[in-house]
Amino acid sequence: MKQLPRVLVLGYGEMGHAMEYLLSDRLHIDIWDKYPQINFNSANLETAAAAADIVLFCLPVNPHRKIANQIFPFLKKTCLCISIAKGLDESGQTAAQIFSDVFSTNQLFALLYGPMISEEIRAGRCAFAQLGCDDVESFNSVRELFDGSGLYMTQTADITGISWSVILKNVYALLYGMADELSLGDNMRGYLTVTALRELEQIVRVMGGQAGSPYDLAGVGDLITTGTSENSHHHEIGRKLARGEVDDIEGEGIHTLAMVSKYQLFDIKNYPLFQLIQAIVQQPCAVSEKINAHLKQVYC
């Protein structure tokens, strides 16, 4: 009888809980959390890492480098590390770039991106993702891991493409929240989707990814979900910005804007919709007027 894989979940936030929901009734799962709640027995990080066949990084991207370096000496050679982080760290790097720096070719790693809202997963609804990895064997192992769980996935080798698609979609998702708060209508959603995808494709290609990646689950799939769901943190941030609120305006999309600007990762002047969002985040006032001015500039 084939031995079931042992999984280590890093982080017990929204997505840590979602992964526990998907896997815990069929597999042995260890869960580690840096700041465990009362009555939660967090696993010992090094011990659990040494026993793991798969490590799920259900963490923001910022602690990835430190944690990856900490567990790397303890991991089995065959252990697969998977990140679901959809942001940039303080150096402007993606989770994939961090894993590549830390693990090089000495440890298997992958990225799991797509529409996976935690509340829906834990309500028993379907979720969808792309697994970015270089080998089919890793994909088959992960697909088998989640088989029957309600998380459906496909495989892509374009790790760069899906990384930038899923990271930048958080920026564009802000504008959906703004549009909804301002009651700009469903026609505006159509415009935002087409324009965001066009810019995403252009930026992804500049960053070294494939042109088709923004049109799959990590791109348009997650963009629509994050941009339109009332459960989406970025949708709510967009609503707040449209109201001129600046308190508690934090999220991966906001941080991505800051990192793109700080490190000049690409020239935002080539992407008018991205530039509009940057301007609104920097000065969240007269949002409706700024959107109208953008439209006149584009179409006149």
pLDDT band at 39 (very low <50, low <70, confident <90, very high): confident
Q: Residue 169: its pLDDT value, please? A: 98
pLDDT tens digits for 181-236? Answer: 999 999 999 999 999 999 999 999 999 999 999 999 999 999 999 999 988 999 99
Distance CA 238, CA 184 (A): 13
Q: Residue 1: its pLDDT value, please? A: 54
Residues 98, 173 within the same domain: no
Residues 13, 150 within the same domain: yes
Q: Residue 247: its pLDDT value, please? A: 84
pLDDT tens digits for 119-172? Answer: 999 999 999 999 999 999 999 999 999 999 999 999 999 999 999 999 999 999
Q: Say how many domains are in the chain.
A: 2
In this predicted structure, the answer to whether residue 23 has a pLDDT above a threshold of 90 is: yes
Residues 186, 282 within the same domain: yes
Question: In the listed set 139, 157, 175, which residue is the last one of a domain according to the structure?
Answer: 157
Q: Is residue 1 part of a domain?
A: no
In this predicted structure, the answer to whether residue 272 has a pLDDT above a threshold of 60 is: yes
Residues 106, 187 within the same domain: no
Q: For the sheet with 108-113, list strands across it.
A: 28-32, 6-10, 54-57, 80-83, 108-113, 127-132, 151-156
**Mean pLDDT across the stretch 18-31?**
95
Residues 230, 272 within the same domain: yes
| Strand partners for 113 | 130
Burial 246-284 (b: 16+ CB within 10 A, else e): eeeeebbbbbbbbbbeeeebbebeebebbebbbebbeeb
**Mean pLDDT across the stretch 15-24?**
97
Locate tokens 């965001």: which residue? 196
Cβ atoms of 123 and 94 within 8 Å: the answer is no
Distance CA 48, CA 53 (A): 10
CATH number at residue 31: 3.40.50.720
Q: Residue 294: its pLDDT value, please? A: 97
**Mean pLDDT across the stretch 241-268?**
95
- Within 10 angstroms of residue 111's Cβ, the number of other Cβ atoms is 26
pTM of the shown model: 0.96
- Within 10 angstroms of residue 161's Cβ, the number of other Cβ atoms is 27
Residues 153, 10 within the same domain: yes
Average pLDDT, the chain: 96
Q: At what angle do helices 233-242 and 252-263 cross, to 10 degrees?
A: 70
Cβ atoms of 189 and 176 within 8 Å: the answer is yes
Residues 65, 120 within the same domain: yes
Residues 28, 56 within the same domain: yes
Q: Is residue 168 part of a domain?
A: yes
In this predicted structure, the answer to whether residue 76 has a pLDDT above a threshold of 70 is: yes
Q: Residue 3: its pLDDT value, please? A: 81
Q: Residue 246: its pLDDT value, please? A: 84
Domain residues for 96? Answer: 6-157
